[in-house]
């Protein structure tokens, strides 16, 4: 150990910065390796136990003579603590690697994909976009990845739905932006008499939702329309209107008008439920806020106070919020009547 060199670094005042840099580099390298290893099938392959370098090369379909290169890549996984290596070969070591080897945790993998691809580019490109007064479009977003990662929020959204959906009795719901249809399914299973209409802007996503509902056996009580809710005439026939994870797809100046329009779909004493991440959360939420601020037709995340005020501006006499993910995240449900 060269104590003199360490002493010189310490005297320079850079020790704290260098230690922080080492931590950042390790965590970012870890995330990149896990995404690559998951997509290459390495994590799934190691889920059954250790594999030798030769077995992993065969699994990847690598040509002969590239074992050294493959070993160098695998050693990156060892260096960040997600892989181990021993006499029997390489093995899963880290908790995250073990989790990503299970297909049930695809939402966790999607969040890592967002970090290493979408978030990286967005944070890196933001200053230039601002300088050039340019904005992103919805097509710049990888909707497939976002749809997969949003599944992490399903337990919290379901908790909010269980609060406002009765377990029995006739009940009609309008869901704005139904995505895959998972919440339509949850509501029909919670109440066997419930009927729901889901609106979805993207035809491909809407057709996938219809197929899912048929496969789940609930399509007779759940209908999906390819439609912008702003083009639909309010009829005052619904007991509940929901918006999940999409209020930031509307500009701040348009939200009061949108919510007032949605109020027209409700019967007297009907409820509007909006779930969304709110400003002031984790770095991932801050990046989502940045995406909304930079994307054409969208807007930044609201604070709970701002959205409650917007709901009252839209004509709802009673508007309250609840942090569904506390203490881990700022993810709120808004209930308005």
SS3 percent helix, strand, coil of the chain, rounded to 5, is 55, 20, 30
What average pLDDT values come out for the chain (337 residues) when binned by 10 residues? 61 75 92 96 96 92 85 96 96 97 93 89 93 89 79 92 96 94 95 96 88 94 94 96 95 97 97 96 90 95 97 96 88 96
pLDDT of residue 327: 78
pLDDT of residue 62: 83
Extents of the domains making up the chain: 3-101, 144-164+233-336
pLDDT of residue 281: 78
Residue 174 to residues 25, 165, 209, Cα–Cα distance (Å) = 46, 12, 15
pLDDT of residue 53: 94
Q: Please count the other Cβ atoms lying within 10 Å of the Cβ belonging to residue 305.
A: 10
pLDDT of residue 17: 84
Residue 278 near residue 331, CB atoms below 8 Å: yes
pLDDT of residue 1: 55
pLDDT of residue 2: 65
pLDDT of residue 277: 95
pLDDT of residue 47: 96
CATH number of this structure's domain 3-101:
1.10.10.10
CATH number of this structure's domain 144-164+233-336:
3.40.50.150
pLDDT of residue 4: 67
pLDDT of residue 124: 92
Taken in order 199, 200, 204, 206, is the CA torsion positive or negative? negative
pLDDT of residue 317: 93
Residue 307 near residue 280, CB atoms below 8 Å: no
DSSP letter (8 states) at residue 245: S
């Amino acid at each position: 150990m060269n104590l003199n060199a360490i002493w010189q670094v310490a005297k320079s005042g850079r020790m704290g910065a260098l230690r922080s840099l080492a931590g950042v580099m390790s965590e970012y390298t870890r995330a990149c390796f896990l995404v690559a290893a998951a997509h290459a099938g390495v994590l799934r392959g190691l889920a059954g136990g250790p594999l030798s370098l030769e077995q992993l090369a065969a699994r990847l379909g690598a040509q002969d003579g590239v074992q050294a290169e493959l070993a160098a890549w695998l050693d990156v996984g060892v260096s960040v603590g997600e892989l181990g290596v021993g006499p029997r070969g390489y093995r899963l070591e880290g908790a995250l690697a073990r989790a990503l080897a299970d297909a049930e945790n695809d939402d966790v993998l999607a969040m890592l994909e967002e970090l290493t691809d979408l978030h990286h580019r967005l944070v890196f490109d933001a200053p230039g976009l601002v300088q050039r007064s340019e904005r992103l479009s919805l097509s710049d977003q990888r909707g497939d990845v976002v749809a997969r990662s949003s599944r992490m929020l399903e337990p919290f959204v379901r908790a909010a739905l269980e609060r406002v959906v009765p377990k029995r009795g006739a009940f009609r719901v309008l869901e704005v932006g139904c995505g895959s249809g998972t919440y339509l399914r949850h509501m029909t299973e919670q109440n066997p008499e419930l009927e729901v209409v889901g609106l979805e802007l993207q035809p491909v996503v809407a057709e996938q939702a219809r197929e899912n509902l048929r496969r789940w056996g609930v399509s007779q009580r759940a209908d999906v329309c390819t439609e912008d809710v702003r083009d639909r005439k309010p009829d005052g026939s619904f007991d509940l209107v929901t918006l999940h994870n999409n209020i930031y797809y509307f500009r701040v100046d348009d939200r009061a008008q949108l919510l007032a329009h949605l109020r027209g779909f409700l019967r007297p004493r009907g409820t509007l439920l909006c779930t969304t991440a709110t400003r002031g959360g984790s770095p991932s939420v801050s990046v989502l806020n940045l995406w909304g601020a930079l994307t054409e037709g969208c807007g930044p995340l609201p604070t709970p106070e701002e959205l409650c005020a917007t709901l009252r501006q839209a004509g709802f006499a009673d508007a309250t919020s609840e942090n569904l993910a506390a203490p881990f995240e700022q993810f709120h449900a808004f209930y308005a009547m």
